[in-house]
Structure 1
Amino acid sequence: MMNRKTKFARPFKRAALVTALAAAFCRPDVAGAFEFDTGNPDLSVRWDNSIQYNLGIRARNCDPNICGNGRGAGDLTATASDRKFGKAGDVITNRISDLSEFDFIYKDHWGFRVSGNVWYDEAYHNASAAPDPAFGALGLSQLPNNQYTDYIKRWNRGPSGQLLDAFAFGRVNAGNVPIDIKVGQHNIYWGESVFSFVGGVADGQGPVDVRTALTAPGTEAKALFLPTNQISFTAQLTNKVTLAGEYYLGWKPAMLPDGGTYFGAADFLTLGGGTLLPFIGPGVTFNGTQRPKNEMGDWGIALKVRPEWLDGSAGFYYRDYTNKFPQLVMNSPTSAVADYTQPRQQLIGFSLSKDVAGVSVGTDITYRRNAMLGATPFAPVFLSTGQGDWHPQGNVFTALVNAIAYFGKTPLFDSATLIGELTYSNLLRVTNDPYKLFLGLPQNCGAGTSTPGVAIDHGCPTKQAYGLGVQFMPIWYSVFNGVDLKMPIFFSIGLHGNSPVPFGDNQGQGAYSIGLTADVRQKYTVSLAYNGFIARHSNDSAGILSNSNASLGKYWDRNWISLTFKATF
């Protein structure tokens, strides 16, 4: 039997090996990323690589209500994910990755860009899940034979990779109006949202990398959106007016964490399918994604104006788009899917950005027609019978305001940045819910949840919801020769109510992170951070389910420490 010392030793020996490998790759003569000398001043060819090593260590033992305590079973839907690395000190990630970017630019306005990343995570060398033995003895495993599927192994262990940007761009002139056009896989992000990826104009503008949002609290929303195949343009009508548009040639779902991994939201949930749902019934399978009926056709138009009297910029938007987040639904008596066949929704938006007393202020305001509402999971809607449009939808108003303040030298730091963002959502009207799946108003979304406090704990949606995100980052320059030091501190919390739309704010639910980052000669960074989750939750009387009002997952015991080394060439 492996003792505790051996359990620690093997991952850390491997961590040291991977660290040495990363260091070898990061030598300038090995990580050969550079700007090519083409001999033509009009032609720029550049290849950049960012090699990164991540070591993550669990900070708290698994909650017995989720993992079990040896005397009773844990949480039926989350035990395998939380028990995979169940003890404080367990290595939850031991990952090396490389982001490679190639740019070919002719006369500043013509060319193409290709980027992608590759990775391997030694922490997942063992592809076995770790469900509660009490459930395993009853045949309640949600991963077949307690083994990861090929999809889970690809995205969490590797070695594997993915193509990110892959587009060509050019400029044409319509009279005196220059029009910049991109064709291919790329990302467009409209609006002024900093932290919220569902509260602003950019809602649904691309698939969101929810995995990164969970593992790196405080990541700006625009960095979470993944490229999608599309055509986009920007036309500079005057020096004060810009017209932009996009038309999507493909569709991708948001990237969700996989069941059985440390950040798995539920043991069965993986967009690759191939898992089991024994808590629903024997032989019930989860079969991954039910894709939209039309995977192309999302489009949007934007007008940006910068009048002198405003001393800032205002944006006006209209978008028609498919949702990138799923509804969990039974599509036959023995099969469930992550369903994306929801009808398109429309967004009318407004944004404003300007300086007020030295503070950069931004705001997004949207009206969303037929927005997807959070349905009761696994409702028996049999899509194969052609019962028509069952998806709960409603008209929703959202607004957010953020402020970015910069501080100069003080006795405590050389400079600092403070960012705050307040978000708000309001369900104006339920427009479609023929099967009464949206059971959130008034405060009741199932048996035993008619009491307001209990309803909030269970994640029952409310008419209105508020949330707050704050990041403060002091900086110290030249602490050592060529070394700048930063201390990013992030905190987010749902202030009131549970959002009627998925992945919005939930009362008492949030995340935080505090760390130190050393920037060495603007080429290497080393970061150490403590990352945690804030949760409002309860347990049912049977002790086999832990209820949380989070949009995704039961993370209140999954705090962790991260060490990151990154070299850019």
Structure 2
Amino acid sequence: MTKPMHTVRGRVVRTPLAAAVAVALLAAAPASAFEFSRGELSGSFDTTISYGASWRMQDRDDNLLAKSHFDPTLAAQIAALQAQGRYLDAQALQLAARGRFSANRDDGNLKYDKHDLISNAIKITPELKLTWRDWGLFTRATYFYDFENADRRDLTREARDRIGERFRLLDAFAWRDFTFGEEGTGTIRVGNQVISWGESTFITNGINVINAVDLSALRVAGAELKEAFLPVNSVWASFNLNQNLSFELTYLLEWEEIEIDASGTYFSANDFASPGGSYVMLGFGTVPQPVNNPELFWQTCFAGPAGFANSDRLGELSARYGQATALQLIGAGCSGAFPRAPNRHAKDSGQYGAAMRYFASALNETEFGLYYLRYHSRLPLISGIAVTGAAPNTGRYFLEYPEGIHLFGLSWNTMLPWGVAMQGELSYRPNMPLQIDDVELLFAGLTPLNIAIPQPGLRFRSQLGSYGFGQEIRGWEEHKVSQVQSTFTKVFGPGNWLGAQQIATVLEVGATKVWDLPDPGVLRYEGEGTDTGGGPDISTGDLRNPFTQRGGFPTSFSWGYRLAMRADYNNVFGTAFNLSPRLAFNHDVNGITPGPGGNFLEGRKSYTLGVEALYLNKLAFDLSYTVFSGGKPFNQIHDRDFASFSVRYSF
């Protein structure tokens, strides 16, 4: 069941969620199988059952794996050269070693080989709607079980809870319709609900941020949008003063975070800030990780030398180097790990907003919208606590969610010539928190050790400055950020060049502008896949930094586009099947958006080719293939092409 559409002056104005569903290539909605009524009480009960599987279709790229994965003794070799004062030789060894300068982004890559199942799940999603007079109730829940991931011991319990097995109550809200004045109508809703504002289609981080998203739910083959948007407990009211002017008010009763890919899952590209992550590795990819499963980190690294035997890497390393050396390598990994402290979640209160929509018949029948929202960050930002002793692992990092972000928005929705529908939006945040480069943050956390380091070249340097023992380090700064995006939709009817009943083509173009972003020489912000520091390296005086990172840091302006096409062929070959091939193409054209969750990474592309066969509007089969490319060396998933199959039945 989709969100009801609004009608203004006899024309349908799509709400953003309905637009997203329609633009998700006009997928046919299942027919309601069971409707009932008794007196003034009526309702419907819909259920969707699905099975889906996905496979990895590409070999790993060695350049996306830590150097220590190929040679766990590399850090010891480098240390031996440095002890002799041969720093340039140590740098040459590190540069020549196979792999990347980070051990913090490859766990998900290592756990799944080419042609491995990455998901193998069944799912059921029931929905109930009841109406009585002007009152109504709507509930939706979902349950899935993934046979591939539910019992994986190399995943943390938190990761298995996300992608292995889960029951979740989604929507659960009541509403009442009412009238006021001579022609005013309104609705009030209370409970867990999805509130969709703005006109975004594919590109995120615009106006539509009230509800968080479960990214893991979107990764399951056959996933539907309604299963990924996380309803938030809230009060929402709309007031239609007349056919042209309406207002909306909302107050959120709780805070929800975006559920990013858990550590070690197939699509994860961050091992330490994702759910289940428990430490971040120092050493720029040369120090071996102490454990494969982050859940074992504390009992391995903080139980004394005897704890090293708790590592799930002991058998693997012992087979290669003998047990004594294996224990030394695990100990080195523990010494080179910065532990994670508990998350600092945002509070539930202090989130509210208002919207106004006006239908201007004199301006080409265009609907305009104005929005204001005060909310807390849905995405985590990383901050730290400086070391409290001589060992690097006495420092900590933690995730926090800055509060009180202000959002101002403008949207439009109209028709252009030649039957092209255009919708778009402009959003502005005067205090958007942006993530500072994690290398600068980690080095800042180590600066208290400088008092015991006489050699200047070996001291820890950070653009954030120097800190005292145990001092907190904020890893983000607020900036003025604007984003504009516009979607163009054209539907070609019968007689088109592909001989289909219809072809839907959707193009969304978007751009992000950070108005006051400092030069990277002053302060570097987090860009995807930037592994080393952007300052001097060993060859230019900083003996801690193996290589000067010259690219990949965020730019003040970035843009890209998303293109999707779908053709519908009804009753193919005289059968009851409708066949719908589709193509989706994403391209980040220029610039790099700062994190967290930046939209654009210059040169990054993805392609999806798929086909759906729908039988009697109830049974659907779907097959697709997705390719990731471009944006090297910073695109963290350019080696994770995958294929998916799903079957879905609605009744």
Q: How does 1:48-447 map to 2 (within 5 A)?
A: 48-67=46-65, 72=71, 74=99, 76-87=103-114, 89-107=115-133, 109-129=134-154, 148-158=155-165, 160-176=166-182, 177-198=184-205, 200-202=206-208, 204-212=209-217, 224-272=228-276, 275-279=278-282, 281-282=335-336, 284-287=338-341, 289-292=343-346, 294-310=347-363, 311-331=365-385, 333=387, 334-340=395-401, 342-357=402-417, 358-377=419-438, 379=441, 391-409=476-494, 410-414=496-500, 415-429=502-516, 436=523, 438=525, 446-447=533-534
| 1:355-412 CA-partner distances (Å, limit 9, x unpaired) | 1111100110122111122322272588997869763111112111110000012252
For residue 447 of structure 1, report the CA deviation from its aligned partner. 2.1
Of residues 406-415 and 53-62 in structure 1, the stretch that sits farther from structure 2 once superposed is: 406-415
* TM-score of the superposed pair, with normalisation by structure 2: 0.69
Residues 100-129 of structure 1 deviation map (CA, whole Å, 9 limit, x = unaligned) = 21111113x412111111111111154233
Deviations 1:140-186 (A, max 9, x none): xxxxxxxx22211111112x211111111112333342220111111
Using the alignment, how far apart are the partners of 1:426 and 1:216 within structure 2?
34
Does the C-alpha gap of structure 1 residues 155 and 408 become closer, same or farther in structure 2, counting only changes over 3 Å? Answer: same
Flag the structure with higher helix content.
2
CA distance in 2, matches of 1:175, 1:385: 62
Q: Deviations over 1:67-124 (max 9, x none)?
A: 579854655223331121112x2111111111121111113x4121111111111111
Structure with more of its chain in strand, by fraction:
1
Output the CA distance in 1 between the equivalents of 2:352 and 2:632: 39
Q: Counterpart amino acid of 1:97? A: K
How big is the shift at 1:429?
Answer: 2.2
Residues 444, 91 of structure 1: CA spacing in aligned structure 2 closer, same or farther, 3 A cutoff? closer
* Contact kept? 1:394, 1:428, Cα under 8 Å: yes
Task: Report the alpha carbon displacement of residue 243 of structure 1 after superposing the two structures with TM.
Answer: 0.5
Q: Is the 8 A contact 2:581 2:611 kept in 1?
A: yes
**Which position in structure 2 is the counterpart of 1:565?**
647
Equivalent residue number for residue 37 of structure 1: 36
Q: Distance in 2 between matches of 1:360 and 1:456?
A: 44
8 Å CA contact 2:565–2:584 kept in 1: the answer is yes
Query: Quick check: 2:434–2:594 contact (8 Å CA) kept in 1?
Result: yes
Relative distance call for 1:188 and 1:459 in structure 2 (3 A) is: farther
Deviation at 1:257, TM superposition (A): 0.6
CA RMSD of aligned residues (A): 3.2
Relative distance call for 1:455 and 1:174 in structure 2 (3 A) is farther
**CA, structure 1 residues 127+411, in 2 after alignment: closer, same or farther (shift >3 Å)?**
same
User: What SS does the aligned partner of 1:258 have?
Assistant: coil
Distance across 2 between alignment mates of 1:210 and 1:91: 18
State the distance in 2 between where 1:283 and 1:68 align: 14
Q: Would the alpha carbon gap of residues 388 and 178 (structure 1) be closer, same or farther in structure 2, given more than 3 Å must change?
A: farther
Q: 1:216 to 1:162 in 2, by over 3 A?
A: same
In structure 2, the residue matched to 1:468 is: 561
Deviation, 1:211, is 3.3
Q: Show the counterpart of 2:45.
A: 47
- Structure with higher Rg: it is 2
Q: CA deviation at 1:307?
A: 2.0
Q: What per-residue deviation string (whole Å, max 9, x for no partner) do you get for residues 411-450 of structure 1?
A: 523210000011011111259x9x956488xx99932699
1:51 and 1:567 in contact (8 A); partners too: yes
d(CA) in 2 for partners of 1:337, 1:390? 10
The question of whether the paired residues in 2 share the 8 Å contact of 1:272 and 1:288 is answered with no
Cα distance change, pair 104–219 in 1 and its aligned pair in 2 (3 A): closer
Distance 1:212 1:197, change over 3 A: farther
- CA shift, 1:217, in A, is 12
Amino acid at match of 1:52: S
Q: Distance in 1 between matches of 2:130 and 2:638?
A: 46
Letter in structure 2 aligned against 1:39: R
Q: Give 1:461's aligned amino acid.
A: P
Alignment of 1:472-551 (within 5 A): 472-480=565-573, 481-502=575-596, 503-538=598-633, 548=634, 550=635
Contact 1:327 1:377 in 2 (8 A): no
Residues 511, 287 of structure 1: alpha-carbon distance in 2 compared, 3 angstrom cutoff: farther
Q: What do residues 182-206 of structure 1 show as CA deviations (whole Å, max 9, x unaligned)?
A: 11111111111110121x322x322
Q: Give the 3-state SS of the residue equivalent to 2:572 in structure 1.
A: strand
One-letter code aligned to 1:322: H
Scaled by the length of structure 1, the TM-score of the pair is 0.78
Structure 2 unaligned residues grouped into runs of 5+: 1-31, 73-98, 284-334, 388-394, 446-466, 538-546
Query: Could you tell me how far apart the structure 2 residues matched to 1:565 and 1:444 are?
Result: 41
Where does residue 143 of structure 1 map in the other structure? none
Shift of 1:44: 1.7
1:264 to partner: Cα distance: 1.7
Aligned CA distance change for structure 1 residues 445 and 305 (closer, same or farther; 3 Å): farther
Quick one: percent identity of the two aligned structures? Answer: 22
For 1:144, the equivalent position in structure 2 comes to none
372-381 vs 166-175, which moves further: 372-381
Give the deviation of 1:62 after TM superposition: 1.6
- Residues 222 and 622 in structure 2, CA contact (< 8 A), matched pair in contact too: no
Q: Which amino acid aligns with 2:397?
A: A
SS in 1 for 2:507: strand
